[in-house]
Amino acid sequence: MDYDITQYDRPSVAADIVVFTVRRGESESYRHLSKPVLSVLLVRRTEEPFENMLALPGGFCCREETIEETAFRKLKEKTGVDSPPLSLLCNLSKLGRDPRGWIISCCYWTVIAYSKATTDKNAQWYEVSLKESGGKHTLILTDDSGREYVSEVRLHNPNELYNQSAEAEIPRNSLAFDHAEIIVNALLKLRSSLEKPYAAFRLLPESFTLTDLQQVYEAILGRKLLMANFRRKIAPYVEETGGIEGGAGHRPSKLFTRKAAAPDHNAAL
Amino acid sequence: MDYDITQYDRPSVAADIVVFTVRRGESESYRHLSKPVLSVLLVRRTEEPFENMLALPGGFCCREETIEETAFRKLKEKTGVDSPPLSLLCNLSKLGRDPRGWIISCCYWTVIAYSKATTDKNAQWYEVSLKESGGKHTLILTDDSGREYVSEVRLHNPNELYNQSAEAEIPRNSLAFDHAEIIVNALLKLRSSLEKPYAAFRLLPESFTLTDLQQVYEAILGRKLLMANFRRKIAPYVEETGGIEGGAGHRPSKLFTRKAAAPDHNAAL
DNA sequence: GCAAAAGTGTTAACAGTACACCCATGT
DNA sequence: ACATGGGTGTACTGTTAACACTTTTGC
């Protein structure tokens, strides 16, 4: 390959990260449990293009760092959290998707335990809900004051996403760039990753009740699960700590941890 | 984001493609069937770095094209085949993985029906076999004259591949860069994609016998399957054409096509 | 006692596995 | 006839889904 690295045009390379968490609401009474909700971390853009619109956190690669390190660095800047492992989602390189020029965006997704410690006031958690009807997806994001941001998303073939060269369509919704579609795809990957409970473990403290775990699943999957079946399914991955969590107006729950030698322990999300 | 696109250093961006095919050997007698083998398309490097070593086909992105188009173009140049859909495998951005400079490589994988029409004599098909023992993987590539290229591969966590910043280790095997590890990862993805038969369909003509299909599976998975079980598994995805393939020294087989309205027809590989 | 949630058992349906058996053909 | 592969049935297993039921707490 006769390639002089300085001879040709080079694109700018950016990393965008879809960060999910599951937050617990407040209890309504001494008896009822609170309902956890799935949320995604977004920033409000302060400049053109898409000024004032919501967008995924991200930024441009600098020399001497890998794309993943760019993602880690940007995440740390905006949220103060330490870098969780990232999973690759897609590469976006359509011309015209960013009016600033020739920009390639590498998108990753991950989950982190909830923390209010977002050092950047611009970054906030938005509740996520996904509706599906007849192949069409509707992404609904809700901020803490109840304001809704609705995006209609037409899904491309997940693994063949964005490999057409047609001019990128500017979306007509509340999110910058094609970020609504990215979030939906990340959510679908997160959901299918729950075949194994490792992503859920990252959202919980060291010891947790099986109901906690189930509620994380339900928040992510957006539907109720049957307790008996759920417990059988995750049984190989957890073990009792011996601890008990009581104090609520009903039978106390046993505490569990993830099993050290769980099957496929090193599997990625 | 206050970013002037011209202000910062930018990396070169390349696409590398792992192209698999399944080739039929020749029949040994009028009675025996030929055994298909899984193969991967490699080029022999003609320049430094890694001169004379085997490498994945690929090349650098030019302006006005997406990364996938780069992959398509390079594939066309080297094989003469038209672009099959690509699936994203990983992004490689470790410093030091390419001595020529700051180079990010986006790796894709795909399968194409076998054709000898490789316009570039440098590009050849190599038989692939993967051995596993105690978490270690051994990739064995064999060229048409029987010469073997063996690579020991220590697999990283698939989805978290290459997100460490440590200097990339130069592999001590027959393949350039970290391409042995990439091929192994692509093969594992191809294998898991066979839960659905769409990749296998791409390797066969419009109509095929169920034994053809099963042999494609066996070549990719590297193990024998039980006929009765295999047929039940793929039954929802195929339908009889009415045709018959005879002429061999045994009962003739029915011909099948992929069912038009197969379940998950639009699913990616 | 009672509401709420923790936790267990039972059943039917389904998918995956292994194996045994018969069928149709060209030589 | 016979070797070879095409093709089908069946029994065993484990997983999943649905539902019914019991247990334990705070008020």
Sign of CA dihedral A165, A170, A173, A179: positive
CA A27 to C1' D24 (Å) is: 21
A13/B12 Cβ within 8 A = no
Q: Is 90 exceeded by the pLDDT of residue B48? A: no
Are A31 and A248 in contact, with CB atoms under 8 Å apart?
yes
Q: How far is B111 from chain A (nearest CA, A)?
A: 13
Whether A136 has its CB under 8 Å from any CB of chain B: the answer is: no
A13/B13 Cβ within 8 A = yes
Q: Is residue A163 part of a domain?
A: yes
Of A7-11, B5-9, B173-177, the one with minimum mean pLDDT is B5-9
Give me the mean pLDDT over the B208-218 stretch.
95
Among the candidates B193, B212, B230, a domain finishes at B193
Query: Residue B104 pairs with which residues in a beta bridge?
Result: B13
Same domain, A40 and A151: yes
Q: Is residue A167 part of a domain?
A: yes
Chain B residues whose CB is inside 8 A of the A62 CB are: 8-9
d(CA B232, CA B239): 12
Provide the number of structural domains found in chain B: 2
Question: Does at least one atom of strand D sit less than 7 Å from the CB of A247?
Answer: yes
Those nucleotides of strand C lying less than 7 Å from any protein Cβ are: 3-10, 16-20, 23-27
> Among candidates A10, A19, A100, which has minimal Cα distance to A63?
A10
Burial class for A99, CB neighbours closer than 10 Å (0-12, 13-18, 19+): exposed
Are B201 and B227 in contact, with CB atoms under 8 Å apart?
no
Among the candidates B193, B214, B235, a domain finishes at B193
CA A157 to C1' D24 (Å) is: 50
Same domain, B165 and B244: no
* DSSP designation for A81: P
B5/A10 Cβ within 8 A = no
| pLDDT tens-place string over residues B134-192 | 778 999 999 989 999 999 888 765 444 344 434 445 555 678 878 999 999 999 999 99
d(CA A103, CA B120): 31
pLDDT at A34: 79
Give me the mean pLDDT over the A47-52 stretch.
82
Tell me if the bond preceding A99 is cis, omega within 30° of 0: no
Which has the higher per-residue pLDDT, B225 or A158? B225
Are B262 and B237 in contact, with CB atoms under 8 Å apart?
yes
Q: Is residue A73 part of a domain?
A: yes
> Among candidates A222, A268, A245, A265, which has minimal Cα distance to A22?
A222
Same domain, B211 and B186: no
Give me the mean pLDDT over the B28-33 stretch.
66
CATH number of the domain enclosing B180: 3.90.79.10
Whether A269 has its CB under 8 Å from any CB of chain B: the answer is: yes
CB pairs under 8 A between A and B: 137
Q: Is residue B232 part of a domain?
A: yes
Same domain, A124 and A66: yes
Q: How far is A261 from chain B (nearest CA, A)?
A: 15
Same domain, A94 and A137: yes
Nucleotide lying nearest to A227, CA to C1' measure: C7
Q: Name, in order, each residue with C-beta under 8 angstroms of A26's C-beta and a sequence gap of 6 or more.
A: A34
Query: Residue A30 pairs with which residues in a beta bridge?
Result: none
Q: Is residue B266 part of a domain?
A: no
Amino acid at B206: E
Q: Taking CA A229 as the corner, what is the angle to CA A227 and CA A230, rounded to the nearest 5 degrees?
A: 65
Residue B52 region by backbone torsions, left for phi larger than 0, else alpha for psi between -120 and 50, else beta: left
DSSP string, B95-124: TTSSTTSSEEEEEEEEE----S--SSTTEE
Among the candidates B193, B211, B238, a domain finishes at B193
Q: Is 90 exceeded by the pLDDT of residue B9? A: no
Question: Does at least one atom of strand D sit less than 7 Å from the CB of A5?
Answer: no
Question: Does at least one atom of strand D sit less than 7 Å from the CB of B76?
Answer: no
Tell me if the bond preceding B49 is cis, omega within 30° of 0: yes
Same domain, B254 and B133: no
Same domain, A50 and A173: yes
| β B12-24/B103-111 pair status | parallel
A1/B86 Cβ within 8 A = no
Give me the mean pLDDT over the B111-137 stretch.
83
Q: Is 90 exceeded by the pLDDT of residue B248? A: no
Helix (H, G, I), strand (E, B) or coil at B7: coil
- pLDDT cut 90: percent of chain B above it: 52
Are A95 and A4 in contact, with CB atoms under 8 Å apart?
no
Are A33 and A27 in contact, with CB atoms under 8 Å apart?
yes
Whether B268 has its CB under 8 Å from any CB of chain A: the answer is: yes
A85/B157 Cβ within 8 A = yes
Same domain, A160 and A43: yes
Same domain, A131 and A182: yes
* DSSP designation for A166: S
Q: Is residue A3 part of a domain?
A: no
d(CA B266, CA B260): 11
Same domain, B155 and B217: no
Give me the mean pLDDT over the B247-259 stretch.
88
Whether A56 has its CB under 8 Å from any CB of chain B: the answer is: no
| pLDDT tens-place string over residues A53-111 | 999 999 999 887 899 999 999 888 877 777 678 999 999 998 888 888 889 999 999 99
Residue A78: alpha-carbon gap to chain centroid: 15
CA distances from B200 to A170, B20, B218 (A): 36, 11, 10
d(CA B106, CA B124): 22
CA distances from B44 to A97, B18, B54, B96, B103 (A): 36, 14, 5, 21, 20
Q: Is residue B1 part of a domain?
A: no
B269/A165 Cβ within 8 A = no
* CA-based nearest residue in chain B for residue A55: B1
Same domain, A61 and A175: yes
Amino acid at A195: E
Please, which pLDDT band fits residue A157 given cuts at 50, 70 and 90?
A: low
Please, which pLDDT band fits residue B117 given cuts at 50, 70 and 90?
A: low
Whether A122 has its CB under 8 Å from any CB of chain B: the answer is: no
A66/B93 Cβ within 8 A = yes
Whether B266 has its CB under 8 Å from any CB of chain A: the answer is: yes
CATH number of the domain enclosing A222: 1.10.10.10
CA A114 to C1' D27 (Å) is: 32
Q: Is 90 exceeded by the pLDDT of residue A123? A: no
Range of the domain at B150: 9-193
* DSSP designation for B31: S
Same domain, B175 and B233: no
Q: Is residue A184 part of a domain?
A: yes
Phi, psi of B49 (to 5 degrees): -80, 165
Phi, psi of A230 (to 5 degrees): -60, -45
Q: Name, in order, each residue with C-beta under 8 angstroms of A265's C-beta and a sequence gap of 6 or more.
A: none
